[in-house]
Structure formats: C-alpha cells, structure tokens
Structure 1
Amino acid sequence: MRTRLLVIVCVLVGLLAVGLGVPLALSNSLAAQQSLFIDRLTDTIYFASRAQRPITEDTAPGLAEELARYDEVYGVAVTVVDRAGTVVAASRPDPPELDADGLDRVQVALASRRSAAPPLIWPWDTRPLVLAEPVLVDGEVRGAAITVSPTGSLRVQELQVWSLVAALVLVSVGLGVLVALPVTRWILRPVRRLDEGTGRVTSAVLAGRPAEPVSDGSGPPELRRLTASFDRMAESVTQALSTQRAFVADASHQLRNPLTALRLRLSNMDGRVAADAAEEHVAAMEEAERLSGVLDGLLALARAERDAGVDREADVAVDAIVDDRLDAWRPLAEHTGLRLLRGGVRGLRVRIAPGGIETVLDALLDNAVKFTPPGGAITVTVRPVRDSDPALVEIAVLDTGPGMAPEDLDRAVDRFWRAPDQSNVEGSGLGLAIAARTVELAGGVLTLDLPHGGGLRVSAALPRVR
C-alpha cells in the first residue's frame, strides 16, 4: 500500500508539474519565435522597400553589397527576385534552395500578401525560417524580397527551456516523494502494526496469553479507532477462549469422580444382575468405559491448551522417543497380527514441549492399530523436510488400512469427529485433534494424505534443531 500511495503522489505531483511547466515552456518558445519572426519580418520589409528602384531600373548598384554585409553580420541569406522569379540581387553567389513552404511564401508575396507567422518550430525541426515580402512600385507587385534565417540559436534556446522544465518536473517529483514518505509512513503505521501484530495476537489468543496491544495512538483518527477496536476484539476473544478452556478442564475433572463411582457400582453389580438384564449391564459398563475415555481425551486436550501459554519447548532427540513408543505399542500390534516398522533418518532433533512427541505418536499409532487389518504393517518414518524454511523434521505414520474418503481428510482433526463408516469403532474422536494441537503449539503442522499404495499416512512436521 505504501508503494501505491507513493505512486499516486508521484503521478499527481508529476501531472501538476507538467501542467504548469509545459504551458510555460510553450509560451517561452512561442515568445522567442515571435520575436525572431518580427525581427526578420521588419528586415524583409526593409529590403523589399530598398529593392523598388533596382527592380524598376533593372540594375542593382549598392544593393548586392548591402545584402552581403547583412548576411555577413547576421548570417541571414537575402534574395530579391522579380515577378518572373529571376534573381535581381542576392547576398550569396548561390542563394539557398527553398523547400515547398518557402516557395509557397514567395508565391504569396508575389500575390501581394504579407508573410504569416510560421507554426511553432520544435527543437528537432532543422528547417530555416523563410519570409517573403512583396516589392511594390506604385501599388503594383514587381517582385519579392526573401530572407532565409537559420533557427539553430532558437532551437538551442528552446531545448534549454524544455530541459529546464523536465529537470523541474523531476525535482518536483523527488520533492513530492520526500514529503510523501513521512506522511505515508504516518498514515500506514497503524496498518503496518495491524499486519505485524496479527500473527502475534493470533498466537497469544490461541495460547491464552494476554494479547500485545496493536494500537500506539499514532496515525489518522480513523485508523487509530480501527486498531483500538482490534485490541478490544483480541481481548474479548482471549477471555472467551480462556473461559472455554477453564470450563472444559473443570467439567472434565469434576466428572471423573462421579464417573469413577459409577463404574465401581456397575462393577460391584457383576453377578448380581438378573439374567434378562445382563446384556444391559454389559452395555452400561461399555458406555461408562467409553465416557471415561472421552473424559481422558478432554483432560489431555485441556492440558495441551493450558501448556500453550507457557514456553516449555526444548531440544528433543527424536530417535529414543520413537524407539520407546514402538516398543510400547509392539505387543498390542503383534497381538492383533500387525508389524511395526521403523524407517528414515536417525540423529535428528526437534524443538517441542517435553512429552509432545509421545502424545503425537500415541495418538497416531492408536489410530493405525485400530484401523489396520491383521497381517498389515505400520511404518514410522523420520526424515528432514527438503527445501523448507524454517528447517523441519517430518515424523510420519503410514498404515495399510482402508484409509478414508478424500473429502474427510480435512475434517479428521476436528474434535469428536468420527468417519461415518467407523462409528462402531472404539474411540472418542479426540486423538488426532490432540495430536494436531500439540504439533501446532510447537510451531509445526499435522498433515493427512492418501498414499498411492493405499492406507493412510499422517505426518507431523516439527521445527528442526541443527
């Protein structure tokens, strides 16, 4: 926007300078040409009057010498011709040839009419100024006096004037830019602070920290009001999110005690329930277990949101954590007929909160084990991301399960979202949401894609530590 404002100012200043300078230069050029025209017209009229007797007597004693002296002093060729166009006297042995305009002026003079002012002579027009005046004897046209004036000095003068105007236009534009720079900086300062502060405010709001104010009281009144409104909005959103997180954490924590008591009571009723109610008792136990899992997920999510406002990131070695989680999940995977594989590069380090990689891998491996059929394989790969700025490390979990519909990939990380064809699979719908939030808080991104060989690939790109 700053560049656009400067361009607008430059265009306006340039148009103003051109609007004032061009008429001034034109006026100066016309005045200089008019002065030359009048001077040469006066001389041509004089020579026309001096030529009356020589034309009448067919002799020109003294006239040729006078024309030659005039040409020598002023550099203007003068020629006197009779009605037939024959040269009566000339300032040079070889009079200059006339172009079409000069010949027309001679014919106009022989028709007893005065020479009109020529059009404006531009600096690149090298034609001389040709004037012709009738030689009158007793009111009868007997010939014409012709002057051919070089226009070099006139064109040099015009070029100097136009160069001065062009320089003044450039100076005006430069001064306009110098004046406009602080003005545009003052105007756009609130906008720049909004642009720079949006990312910081977003991070602070999501982390539950107080948002740094964007408004500093500078700039136009309208933009100051805009930044003040933005600060109020950020504060309101921060309070709303903090209230929501506190409610989720408190509600989840408070529900654990009555839920635990309910599970104990249901367990104590085992063997004491009538045969026709045994199936309902088992279903109640399963729902209690499912509710317990949902509450555990909510508490994990609340802890992740709570830790967002605390800088707990550390330099973490990836290899030991990946090997540990694979060892922890291998018994369950082998029990269900799955193979756990490790691939990629070793020796990489990332920046993430302690326990973050464990949380992400547990969520991804839990989903992979649940949805991969017996005989399948789950591969955990660690590798650096090429050509990334900043440098990233990708931790990916690839399974050989059924995958999911392409349109569901973006929704899979939503809280409590379950695929329509997997509603009967055990789970709370919070695993991927917790993993995505954990990766996001570390400055990375969680991505789901469908590889060509089938299955589902979930990758977490985390900031790399060199």
Structure 2
Amino acid sequence: MRTRVLTVVLAFVVLAVAGFAVPLLAVTSAQRTQQLVAARTADLDRFAGLAEQAAESDDTGALTADVRRYTELYGEAVVVVDARRAPVVQTGGLRAADPAVARLVDAALRNQPVSPGGTLRPWSRADRLLARPVGTGTRVSGAVVLRASVRVAADDIALRWALVLAGAGLLAVACVLLARAATRWVVRPLHRLDRAVGTLAAGLPPEHARAGGPPELRQLATGFNRMADGVTTALEQQRRLVADTSHQLRNPLAALRLRIDSLQPHLRASATRTYTGVTGELERMEHLLDDLLTLANAEHRAGELAVSDARESCCDATAVTAAQARLWQPVAEQAGVRLEFVPGPAVLMACPEGELAQVADILFDNAIKYAGGGARVEARCIGEGPDTVLEVRDNGPGLAAGELSRAGTRFWRSERHREVRGSGLGLAIAERLVAGHTGHVEFTAAEPHGLRVRVVLPKGHPA
C-alpha cells in the first residue's frame, strides 16, 4: 500500500514541479533572447545613424572607425551598404555578397527591418543575423547587417536553467521527504494492525495495536483491540477447556480401569465378552484424550510458526523416516503388513526432527491399521525442486474418490473403517504440524489400488 501511495504522490509531485518549472524555463529563455535582440537592435540603430550622416557628408571615416572598433571589442561582424548595394564597410569576415546577407540587404532596402526568429536555448550556438535600413521611412539610403553571437546569451540561459532546475530538484526532494513521512504516518498503523491480525489468526494472543495515524485509523485500531481481546479470551477458554477436560478425565478413567481390572478375577466366564468391550471402550477414550491433547499442542505450535520467522530448524528426512520405519516394523509384522523403506540419498527438510518423526508415526500408524493384513506399505523421501517429499503408500483398499477430499478432517473416518480402533484425529494433527512449516499434505489414490500420502515441505538449508 505504501508503494502505491508513494507512486501516486510522486507522480503528482513530478507533474506539479514540471508545471511551474517548464514555463519558468521558457520565460527565462524568452527574456534573455529579447535582451540580446534589444541590445543588438540598439547597435544597429547607432550604425544606421552614422551611415546616414556619412551619406549626407560623403565622409565614412567615423562610421568605419566605429564599426571596426565594435568588431574588435565584441567580435561581431558588421556590413554597411549604400542604396546601390555597394559595400561601405565590411568587418569580421562578413561580406555583402554572401547570399544570406544579400537577402537581408534587399529586405532592408525595402524598409523592412529583420530580427532573428526563435528563442535561444542553452545549446544554441549558431550566430544570428539582424538587418536595419538606413534613412527615413520615405527615403532609404542603405542598409546595415550585423551578425550577433549568441554564445554568451546561451551560457546565461544555461546558468539560469541550472538554477531553476536545482530549485525544482530541491522542491521535489522536499516533497518526496514530506510524502514519505506522510505515508509512513498513515501506513505504519496499518502494518501494526496487519501483524496483530496475523497473530490473532494464528490463535495466539496478539499485542494491542497502538493507536496512531489519522483519526479513522486510530478508531479502527481501538475497535480491533476490543475485538482481539474478545476473540483471544474465547480461544483461550476453548483451548483451556480441551486441555483441562483431557487432564481431568485422565484420573477418573485411570481409577475406572483399576476398578474394572480388579473385578476381572470375580467375573463369570459368561461376562468375559462384556469385560472385553468395556476395556476396549476405555482404551478408545484414553486414545481420544491423548489425541485431543496432541491436536491442541499441534495447533498452538502451528500458530507460533505462522507468526514467526524462526524456521531454520531442519533435519535429514531420509534418516528420520528410516528410523521410524524400523520402530514400526514389529507392529507391522504383528498386523501382517509388510513395511518397507526405500533407501535413498540424504535430503534435508525444513522441519525439526521430533515433529517430522511425529508426522511419520501418524502416517505409518494409519497405513498399517487401514491397509489390512497381507498389504504392503512403502515409504520413501525424495527431493522435488524446492521441496522435500515424504511419501507413504500402501496397496490396501484405499479411499473412494469422494473420500479423498475429506481425509484429514477432524474425527472423520471412512464407513469401511468404523470398526478399526482410532479417533480420526491423527491426520488432522499431521496436517497442522506440516502447515505450521508452510507445507501441505496430499492424499491421492495409488495404482492399482491403495492410498498414497505425500508430506510436502520446503527443503532445509544446513546452518
């Protein structure tokens, strides 16, 4: 936003500075050009007066001396001719026979004074020719042509332009600094609000956004702080309710298990089935409480990672997955599942070793439970461009096409797996942990049948 605001303000500043600088430059050039023309016109008038006196007295000595002295002082050539176009005096290499001079002489003998057209610029270097008739309006006795040098005038214009442009530059810099200060004053509260919103969205208690900037933003910050307090309180109460409930239920469940276990020796053989069902339900409740606590911790961890830049922790995904596969090997053999890890080169993954091991445990647990006896579970770690992928696939029954999009949803389980022990929270926990490290989990069907789960995370960089 700050860039867009600065772009608009700077465009306005450029237009405003150009709006007064360009006309000022044009006026400066026009004024200096007029000064040059006025000065040379006065010189022409003086030469024309001397030429008229010389024509009346047939004495050109004063005219010749004055013209030559002028050329020596200023380096500008002068040509004076009589009514028959015969040269009276010629200086500075200018000749009456020159085509350009001849045209001006013809115009002057027709009583038409000639002044140079166009406005001078700093880069102007070509000399200008001016002509003036000698005599009165009814009787023209000759003409005077002067070749004026524009270098001094052009240098003056260049100096004035430099001063104008320097002033315009200073004004533009002042406007830019003012614009930056103004936009910072407006945008800084928005940055603070954005950080607070990100923290709140991650489920963490946000810092109160300091009220600053325009009155509208101060009012917005105050309203956000009130809302954040309410949302934070509600989230904390919810998190505390889950954690406290899980902790508080552990003791009654533990006591209930002890009492039920103490009853086992006193039960008749016909009550064994009921006893087994009760203990199974107790185990399911214990697993559910453990998963709820794990999910709450995963969400809190994901929220911390979402608002921090501390993602430097990385691990060798190949080594971690291979170690977890060895730990799950006895469980797979007991379930009649063949668990294999495909060896490969070491690939770094931007995830701490403990959290990756936890994700791998969840994937192995689900694959062994739902693939079924006689199935084959295969795991591997590969690098794909900027990402590292942990892939676990099985050749079990898998999921239907409509069920793949629901995999990972909390408490969701396929209808075919209702009898399998589980809470439906394992993949949700894995997804929250992976999402905290800017990764994602993909669920696709394996060929010819089965399920393929891919954990995609950015590659890690060694410290």
User: Shorter-normalised TM-score: what interval?
Assistant: 0.7 to 0.9
Once the two structures are overlaid, the 10-residue window that deviates more, 87-96 or 291-300, is 291-300
Quick one: which amino acid aligns to residue 124 of structure 1?
Answer: W
- Correspondence for 1:429: 424
Q: How many residues matched? A: 439
- Correspondence for 1:448: 442
1:220 lines up with 2:211 in the alignment: no
Correspondences of 1:272-283 after superposition (within 5 Å): none
- Correspondence for 1:63: 63
Correspondences of 1:5-404 after superposition (within 5 Å): 5-52=5-52, 54=54, 60-82=60-82, 85-92=85-92, 94-95=94-95, 105-116=104-115, 118-136=117-135, 139-203=138-202, 205=203, 209-213=204-208, 215-248=209-242, 293=284, 296-297=287-288, 299-306=290-297, 326=325, 329-335=328-334, 337-342=336-341, 343-344=343-344, 359-372=358-371, 375-381=374-380, 395-401=390-396
Secondary structure of the residue aligned to 1:456 is strand
Distance 2:137 2:318 in 1: 121
Deviations 1:67-121 (A, max 9, x none): 2122112222211234554433323454388676x66654442322333563211
Distance 2:17 2:80 in 1: 47
- Correspondence for 1:457: 453
Once the two structures are overlaid, the 10-residue window that deviates more, 183-192 or 193-202, is 193-202
1:255 to 1:448, Cα distance in 2 relative to 1, 3 A: same
**CA shift at 1:436, angstroms?**
2.1
Distance 1:348 1:18 in 2: 56
Quick one: which amino acid aligns to residue 48 of structure 1?
Answer: A
Long gaps (5+) in structure 1: 273-277
Distance 2:231 2:269 in 1: 48
Counting aligned pairs with the same residue, the percent is: 31
**CA shift at 1:152, angstroms?**
0.7
**CA shift at 1:433, angstroms?**
0.7
CA contact (8 A) 1:115 1:132 kept: yes
1:465 to 1:199, Cα distance in 2 relative to 1, 3 A: farther
Distance 2:118 2:299 in 1: 80
CA contact (8 A) 1:14 1:172 kept: no
Secondary structure of the residue aligned to 1:242 is helix
Deviations 1:357-413 (A, max 9, x none): 66534431232124436554223346789857xxxx865433334655788656422
1:319 to 1:88, Cα distance in 2 relative to 1, 3 A: closer
CA contact (8 A) 1:439 1:446 kept: yes
1:376 to 1:97, Cα distance in 2 relative to 1, 3 A: farther
**CA shift at 1:158, angstroms?**
0.3
Quick one: which amino acid aligns to residue 121 of structure 2?
Answer: W
CA contact (8 A) 2:314 2:348 kept: no
Secondary structure of the residue aligned to 1:360 is helix
Quick one: which amino acid aligns to residue 233 of structure 2?
Answer: Q
Deviations 1:126-180 (A, max 9, x none): 2223211122368123432111111110000001111121222222222333444
CA contact (8 A) 2:197 2:206 kept: no
Relative to the length of structure 1, the TM-score reads: 0.73
1:36 to 1:253, Cα distance in 2 relative to 1, 3 A: closer
